[in-house]
Amino acid sequence: MPFTPEGNPLPRVIFIVGPTGSGKSAAALGLAWRLRGEILSADSRLLYRGFDIGTDKPTPAVRTEIPHHLIDVTDPDHPWSLAEYQSAALEGIRQIHSRNRQPLVVGGTGQYVRALLEGWEIPPAVPTPDFRTTLEERAAREGSAVLYSELTQADPVAAARIDPRNQRRVVRALEVILSTGKPFSALRRRGAVGFQPLVIGLHLPRPELYARVDARIDSMLAMGWVEEVRGLLARGYSPDLPAFSALGYGQIVQHLRGELSLEECVIAIRRATRRLIRHQANWFRPGDPDIHWIESGPDSASKAEALIRKAMSQ
């Protein structure tokens, strides 16, 4: 068991990871009841107020029963950096431990999870609007694939972890490389984490996972997802904001502009969801020895609790 320099056991932090639709939230709720836990989100889109239906955000009733953290903490036009998230998450973990409760970090945003697990020493945001503007203009003129190709040549490690379609992150990586002269990946040095992690991954066979997320998309649309996006636009939020890169929101914006029929919109969201699931596998690999994988199902919380109790007894 790892110890602090003072000889005390490092506090335990439980991580629940896996692809979108794998049942992380339900498993975490079950564990929170069993372990006197509090849930800390590791989902980049749950940060934003007003992005509720399409992000499958926990309801106010659920958040009243079990404390949740890092949800609805900023407005869509005030995006958080990775460094801001990491700082807030570590403080949240510290506060949960101070209440003698069990922190449960839950989410599928690989960067967030790895930044906490590996103690990334993240550089501050580089204020280079000229670089960013030039890169964005090039992407509009030449296509984002050209920039991704340049990133692959400049920093293949970073490129392997960035979805080529995520223009914002490609631009950010190139911006840091051009500003500092160093690889984007090299700037994320590992450091001490100050806690003892236990990572539990939820697995589902791909066909079953795809069927589940398809049904969830239909349910979200029936709940008023399109109207939610219409309302966000009516409040003056630009669809170019990073928050609108949340799964499905961009496609619904296209539908509201008349660029996609609703049927085409649904097909596009399903395709994007499948891409995300494949991309998440780069962060949470089935062969990762540090992740304890369990089959997702109604008994996920019980299976996870058994793993946790065993680990805590060692």
pLDDT at residue 4 tops 70: no
Asked if 208 and 295 count as a contact pair (C-beta separation under 8 A), the reply is no
pLDDT at position 44 = 94
Residue 86 carries which side chain, given as an amino acid letter?
Q
pLDDT at residue 303 tops 90: yes
Whether residue 220 lies inside any domain: the answer is: yes
Average pLDDT over residues 182-196: 76
CATH, residue 156: 1.10.20.140
Residue 309 vs residues 77, 125, 126, 230, 312: alpha-carbon distances, Å: 42, 40, 44, 46, 5
User: Does 164 lie in the same domain as 111?
Assistant: no
User: Model pTM?
Assistant: 0.82
| Domain extent at residue 245 | 12-122+189-313
User: Could you give the percent of the chain with pLDDT greater than 70?
Assistant: 93
Q: What is the pLDDT of residues 97-107, one digit of tens each?
A: 999 999 999 99
User: Considering only 67-76, 229-238, 274-283, which range has the smallest mean pLDDT?
Assistant: 274-283
pLDDT at position 170 = 86
pLDDT at position 50 = 97
Give the residues across from 105 on adjacent strands: 15, 40
User: Does 155 lie in the same domain as 84?
Assistant: no
User: Does 199 lie in the same domain as 88?
Assistant: yes
Per the structure, how many domains does the chain have?
2
Average pLDDT over residues 296-305: 93
User: Does 102 lie in the same domain as 37?
Assistant: yes
User: Does 32 lie in the same domain as 47?
Assistant: yes
pLDDT at residue 122 tops 80: no
Binned at pLDDT 50, 70 and 90, residue 234 comes out as very high
Strand, helix or coil for residue 228: helix
Q: What is the pLDDT of residues 37-60, one digit of tens each?
A: 999 999 999 999 999 999 999 999
Average pLDDT over residues 168-194: 76
**Helix, strand and coil in the chain, % to nearest 5:** 55, 10, 35
Whether residue 7 lies inside any domain: the answer is: no
Cα–chain center distance at 218 = 22
pLDDT at residue 2 tops 60: no
pLDDT at position 132 = 73
pLDDT at residue 129 tops 80: no
User: Does 168 lie in the same domain as 94?
Assistant: no
End-to-end CA distance of the chain: 7
pLDDT at position 126 = 56
